A and B are shown apart, each in its own frame.
Chain A
Amino acid sequence: MISYLDFEKPVAALQARIDELRETADDGAIDIDAEIEKLQQRSTTMLAELYGKLSPWQKTQVARHAERPHFRDFVSAMCSDFMPLAGDRAYADDKAIQGGFATISGRKVMLIGHEKGNDTASRVKHNFGMGMPEGYRKAVRLMELASRFGLPVVTLVDTSGAFPGVQAEERGQAEAIARATEACLALNVSMVAAVVGEGGSGGAVALASANRVLMMEHAIYSVISPEGCASILWRTADKAADAAQAMQVTAQQLLTLGVIDRIVPEPLGGAHREPQVAIQALQKAITEELRTLDGLSGTQLRNQRAEKFLALGS
């Protein structure tokens, strides 16, 4: 049973009515299939209308939906093989940032991404996808490894941001993020990044300074969370919807701004309704993007990234 977002209430009500009718139909002999069919169509139309014009704030909620596919879902559906690699060789293995060798559409790559977890226990284990410095340092290690051995790097970005905490500061969260961004830009291999849910600030860009940056249709990518922006500029987190609107956080807006290269379509009503469809679409997009970068030399790939990011805001 899917959990509905606030703005989906009309659909939820309709769906409840349909379920009710189904039960009645099971009980008795009355034939109400036609009625159910009609309601189901109305529900689908309603969902299509809602998702056709999601506001940036509504997209933020979709992007954070608990049932949205996360790193491990992508891995299990997208990769014929995944060989996790652990640790930063200095302090610990951060569970918020996962990485390892992976095979996608028959291609060997280095796959790195944030894992948010999907229930209380795994969310705590993965620290809700908020990376620690050791997570970013692991990412640097894996990127450098990939660069040396000619493996393209693919990242799946899904974080509200790097973890804000005493230990994170103590161990140099800022430096770790800066070095990870730098590592992306220094790669001699191709890099494709996909923002699959939330692309939150420095903790996201550290894994997304890539040759090609993709976003799922309802993902968001922003310099600060809408709540954070609202509490600073509007002095209340209640204005998060206004902040999301003003900051331009959606895939569609970011494509227009030239910050991302491609939008990956999601199934009707968002990736959480049909995760497998969403994951397949992403796999196809990543495979195609990797192919467009084939044949470029290390220098060409580095130059392409340099030119792309130097041009942002000129």
Chain B
Amino acid sequence: MSWLNRVRNAIPFIAKKADTPDNLWQKCPSCGQMIFQKEWDENLSVCPRCEHHGRIGPKARFSHIFDEGTLKLLPTPVVKEDPLKFRDSKRYTDRLKAARAATTEQDALLNGIGKIEGQQAVVGVQDFAFMGGSMGTAVGAAFVAGVKEAIKRRCPYIVFTAAGGARMQEGILSLMQMPRATVAIQQLRAAGQPYIVVLTDPTTGGVTASYAMLGDIQIAEPNALIAFAGARVIENTIREKLPEGFQRAEYLLEHGMIDMVVHRKELKPMLAKTIGYLSGAKAA
């Protein structure tokens, strides 16, 4: 059974409201609708009422994208921790510890290899829950490792972006991840493999201004915030209200910055089809 049918046939989870613990409910962050956790999960964390696409981490994403039983996680590269010995109101090392405890991930980008409707791909997923998905040396290293694996296996690299921007606690080294990731993309291109970007909510700052905008194909999830500069920064600069829908996926589509906006339920077949076309010449 395809996952689409699975969603359609899903039997609503039945529980008595009075004795349902809070964690079995999910409140849609957009419309406020209370949704059973099971229904929310089965609907790929998309609100059945308003179609709001909830933020999801690598594990959920892999389960949506890869054929069942094909996922193999790539090891997360080890980088020098806290290279600047950075401290604001908290130590950076403490922030890292807290993020690791909260997400059970090592840092904000996780790679998996698996099959998408039978076609092999390396998929990197950025985790907004890990320090706002911010790009530091660990994210840069994971991106490079993901691309390397794709080159080795002669398959596409797909990245799901989600980031508040660069990881300020790593100062200039976080900025240097922009050219670093770009070098990796050039190597993937030289190897003749596709690079596909799926922009998810939110993708901003230095991530947008580097690997998130260099895809051979640019896909975005509905209503995802995709920006270079933050709305508040812009408002403070121009001192006027921003246009309706500004910096949302549909706005970027309108302005020619992406190829398509794709509903999460359609994403897997769309990726499969895209890979199919991009490997068409080789397959034929």
Contact = CB atoms under 8 A, between A and B. Distances in A.
Contacts of A305: 183
Interface residues of A, number: 51
Interface string A253-285: 010010100000000000000000000000000
B182 A178 contact: yes
A312 interface: yes
Contacts of A205: 175-176, 178-179
Interface in B75-94: 77, 79-80, 83-84, 86-89
Contact of B186 (A163, A174, A182, A206): A182
A202 B179 CA distance: 10
A241 interface: no
Contacts of B141: 313-314
A59 to B, nearest CB: 14
A259 B228 contact: no
Interface string A285-314: 000000000000000000001100110111
B175 A223 contact: yes
B183 A306 contact: yes
A251 to B, nearest CB: 11
A1 interface: no
Interface in A162-177: 162-166, 168-175, 177
Interface in B108-141: 136-137, 140-141
Contact of A247 (B172, B213, B226, B255): B172
Contacts of A163: 237
A223 B167 CA distance: 9
A221 B206 CA distance: 15
Interface stretch (A27-35, A74-82, A227-235): A227-235
B206 A202 contact: yes
Nearest to B165: A224
Contacts of B183: 185, 305-306, 309-310
Contacts of A247: 84, 86, 168, 171-172
A174 B137 contact: no
A181 interface: yes
A254 B175 CA distance: 12
B169 to A, nearest CB: 8
B257 interface: yes
B210 interface: yes
A202 B175 contact: yes
A200 to B, nearest CB: 10
B253 to A, nearest CB: 12
A248 B228 contact: no
Nearest to A208: B179
20 contacts: A164-B228, A164-B237, A169-B227, A169-B247, A174-B212, A177-B228, A178-B211, A181-B178, A182-B214, A185-B182, A205-B175, A233-B168, A246-B171, A247-B171, A247-B172, A248-B84, A254-B172, A313-B79, A313-B136, A313-B170
Interface of A: 162-166, 168-175, 177-179, 181-182, 184-186, 201-202, 205-206, 209, 221-224, 228-229, 232-234, 242-243, 246-249, 254, 257, 259, 305-306, 309-310, 312-314
Given A175-B209, A178-B213, 9 more contacts: A172-B256, A186-B186, A206-B209, A223-B166, A223-B174, A223-B175, A247-B86, A257-B173, A309-B179
Interface of B: 77, 79-80, 83-84, 86-89, 136-137, 140-141, 144, 165-166, 168-180, 182-187, 205-206, 208-214, 226-230, 233-234, 237-238, 242-243, 246-247, 255-257
What 5 pairs between A and B have smallest CB-CB spacing?
A313-B137, A164-B229, A174-B208, A174-B228, A233-B88
